[in-house]
Amino acid sequence: MKTIDKGTLTRTILLWLAILNQVLTALGKNPLPLDDNTVSTLITAVFALWAWWKNNDFTHAAKKGTELTKSLKNGDSVQVVKASDADHEFTEGGRMMSSIENMIAWMQARKGKVTYSMTSRMGPTSYDCSSSVFFAMIAGGFLSVGSMGNTETLFGMSGTKLKEISRGEVQRGDIFISGTPGGSAGSDGHTGIFLSNGSFIHCSYTHNRIAIDTNDAYMSTRLPHHFYRIVGSGSANTDDKPQMVTLNLDGQFGNATAKRLQEYFDTAGKDGVISHQYKQTFNQNIYAAQFDSSLTGSNVVKALQRFLGIGQDGLFGQATIKALQKHLGTTQDGIISPVSDSVRELQRRLNANKL
């Protein structure tokens, strides 16, 4: 094969693929699933055909194209330029336009077809908010294949790969990160990609799928919102950390365990506090409890009681403890001890995201 300008041709191919996906989306059709392998194959085939077309030898080009296809199917070694390795530096108004549509196409192709899971976040049937954004950025060529992290990882890209912008500046292809840098793990963080200033696509716990929303409340009503523009491509410092906080199996019913329980049942106010409990000897070691005499009870305890199929007064009483112990398969003494086998089993199941 003759030497050709791979950078120019790659950019042209990626641009036309992006335009094609825009047309398909406008027509209400599913965009092409332009994963790294698909784009690599297309680019490789075009490189081969273009090189021989330069010699006006169409018969030879067709023959070489067939040979190339067979080689790809057989897994033979062929010259491939991956989408993630391509030069994406052609811009429009300072914005990197080459891969925004491919990034969005990755999300659009999975809209309504996958579920939300913080434990099974690596696909292909489920993702969480941050893993879906990472996979989409990889599909767009903004991150190297294999990059992964959480909202904390994304916050860490500010100033290098991401540039913080105002809400009013948001355009198609920008991203939001909800939460506070340094404290956005678990339900304290959320992220997604803008389709326009007024709509965004995200993998949502509330919807249990990848969905499109037009109300900023779906970014979170309790967390601060931050907005970023992607300004770099290629490799980045990623840490492969999951979005979910993994509990220590210490058997102590503290705030971290209470918060994971609130996340599991998606109750309001994920603050790690089990509010309005009545203190008695059998529940005094629930360290996350807020004890008072109101008998109001807690939303997360009501959710747990509903799950266990018992009365729902919101109070962590002896009957609730026994029902939980029975469900967990531990000793049914109706007592939460300072270090409890029941709590340890609860923590283990919460880490697996399956009570």
Residue among 60, 88, 190, 203 flagged as catalytic: 190
203 catalytically annotated: no
> Which one, of 339, 349, 324, 149, lies nearest residue 264 by Cα?
349
Domain span at 176: 91-230
**Per-residue model confidence (pLDDT) at position 352:** 86
Domain closes at, from 25, 57, 85 = 85
Alpha carbon 340 to chain centroid, angstroms: 33
Query: Does residue 241 fall inside a structural domain?
Result: no
Residue of 88, 129, 276, 327 marked active site: 129
pTM for the full predicted model: 0.56
Query: Catalytic residue at 327?
Result: no
Q: What is the pLDDT of residues 158-217, one digit of tens each?
A: 999 999 999 999 999 999 999 999 988 888 899 999 999 999 999 998 899 999 999 999
Q: Write the pLDDT tens digit of every residue in 286-296.
A: 999 999 999 99
Count of domains in the chain? 3
Residue 274 sits in the same domain as residue 188: no
Res. 336: pLDDT tops 50 = yes
| Residue that terminates a domain, selected from 28, 60, 85 | 85
Contacts 24+ apart (CB under 8 A), 197-203: 197/168, 197/170, 197/171, 200/176, 201/104, 201/107, 201/108, 201/111, 202/129, 202/132, 202/133, 203/114, 203/116, 203/127, 203/128, 203/129, 203/131, 203/132, 203/133
Contacts of 272 (CB under 8 A, 6+ apart): 254, 255, 256, 258, 259, 262, 288
Query: What pLDDT is stored for residue 246 in this prediction?
Result: 81
Catalytic-residue membership of 129: yes
The more confidently predicted of residues 55 and 330 is 330
Catalytic residue among 202, 226, 276, 327: 202
Q: How many CB atoms lie within 10 A of CB 46?
A: 18
| Mean pLDDT (whole number) for 29-45 | 61
Same-domain check for residues 211 and 311 = no
